[in-house]
Amino acid sequence: MSVEQAVRAGAPVAAVRRARRGRVRPGVLAAAVLLGLILLAALVPSLLAHGSPTDTDPVHALQAPGGAHWFGTDQLGRDVFARVVHGTRYSLAIGAAATGAGVGLAVVWGLAAALSGRFGDAVLMRAADALLALPGLLLALMVVLIAGKGVLGTTIAVAVGTAPGFARVVRAQALVVRRSGYVESAVALGVPRPLIVLRHVLPNTLGPLLVLATVTLGASISTGAALSYLGLGAQPPTPEWGAMLTEGQGFLDQAWWIALFPGLLLVSTVLAVTVVGRHAQARAEGRAAS
């Protein structure tokens, strides 16, 4: 039943609200379709781009976009379209791996804070507050200088940057679950504490955390690209979007397409992930309120 039909039929307010929540806005649908294409490029790049992202051809260097090379060629004659498509895998992998690692670290961090008593809770949460007080990119820069530059170092840096915010969510949910009736009953029955955490506390913290992780994924992708742009992430000739922006900035006056297309894909991906993530968050909050 559509929203208009529900209103005309005199449906209850709750039914109208459910119909409105179930309707997908065109912007969300467009973002989901774009995200699907981006995921396809990341999983099977050869399906969309047949050329190699690293093969050089100096004879055809700095060619403008055209029939032979849709996005033109760079200063070494490499096909920019092939590099952008193959770069999807690296940019998404860094963002997704960093977000996943941040979630894993946050689960341990947040549960330890919620279950370790007042002193342990205070220490762990003050540490989270201290890290959250730093700008995200600055914190990532500090971590990558310790972990080392490259894809692995960038992933660790972005993960550490996202973990404190996730940990606060885990702690808040764990405190609510810990005070619930069924957990108190399990404690009274003598159920071992680790079993209570695994059966009751952990599953009830993962739902809100995964929704938040979906929203945060876009920021993780952009932070990873920013570190690569600064020369601390993926290294040449890896076709990562941030590294491609660095390579293209020196040719903006004569070959604008080298930096334009990876920049457009980066912005589009971050927007698509954020829109879809916020839609998922709104639906989850709506289900929780109903």
Note the pLDDT of residue 16: 46
Q: Find all residues with CB under 8 Å of 262, minimum gap 6, and list them.
A: 80, 83, 84, 87, 241, 244, 245, 248
**Chain-centre distance for alpha carbon 100:** 9
Note the pLDDT of residue 14: 53
Note the pLDDT of residue 211: 85
Among all chains, which residue has been given the structure tokens 């945060």?
216
Give tens-digit pLDDT for 63-98: 999 988 999 999 999 999 999 999 999 999 999 999
CATH number of the domain where residue 56 is located: 1.10.3720.10
In degrees and rounded to multiples of 5, residue 234 shows phi and psi of: -60, 140
pLDDT (mean) for 271-290: 82
15 occurs within a structural domain: no
Note the pLDDT of residue 157: 95
Asked if 140 and 155 touch (Cβ cutoff 8 Å), the reply is no
Give the number of C-alpha atoms closer than 13 A to the C-alpha of residue 187, restricted to the C-beta side: 11
Note the pLDDT of residue 17: 54
13 occurs within a structural domain: no
Rounded to whole angstroms, how far apart are CA atoms 127 and 168? Answer: 11
- What residues are paired with 79 via a beta bridge? 73
3-class DSSP state of 79: strand
152 occurs within a structural domain: yes
Note the pLDDT of residue 8: 54
Give tens-digit pLDDT for 181-197: 777 777 777 778 778 78
Q: How many domains does the chain have?
A: 1
Find the radius of gyration of the CA atoms of the chain: 23
> What share of residues in the chain are helix, strand, coil (percent, to 5)?
75, 0, 25
3-class DSSP state of 286: helix
1 occurs within a structural domain: no
Among all chains, which residue has been given the structure tokens 């829109």?
275
- What residues are paired with 73 via a beta bridge? 79
pLDDT band, residue 7 (cuts 50/70/90): very low
pLDDT above 80: residue 161: yes
3-class DSSP state of 240: coil
pLDDT above 90: residue 236: no
Asked if 24 and 272 touch (Cβ cutoff 8 Å), the reply is no
Note the pLDDT of residue 84: 95
pLDDT above 80: residue 148: yes
216 occurs within a structural domain: yes
pLDDT (mean) for 6-26: 57
pLDDT (mean) for 256-261: 95
Q: What's the predicted TM-score (pTM) here?
A: 0.84
pLDDT (mean) for 113-131: 91
pLDDT (mean) for 218-241: 92
pLDDT, averaged across the chain: 87
Q: Which residue range is the domain that position 171 belongs to?
A: 26-289
12 occurs within a structural domain: no
pLDDT above 60: residue 266: yes
237 occurs within a structural domain: yes
Rounded to whole angstroms, how far apart are CA atoms 85 and 13? Answer: 47
169 occurs within a structural domain: yes
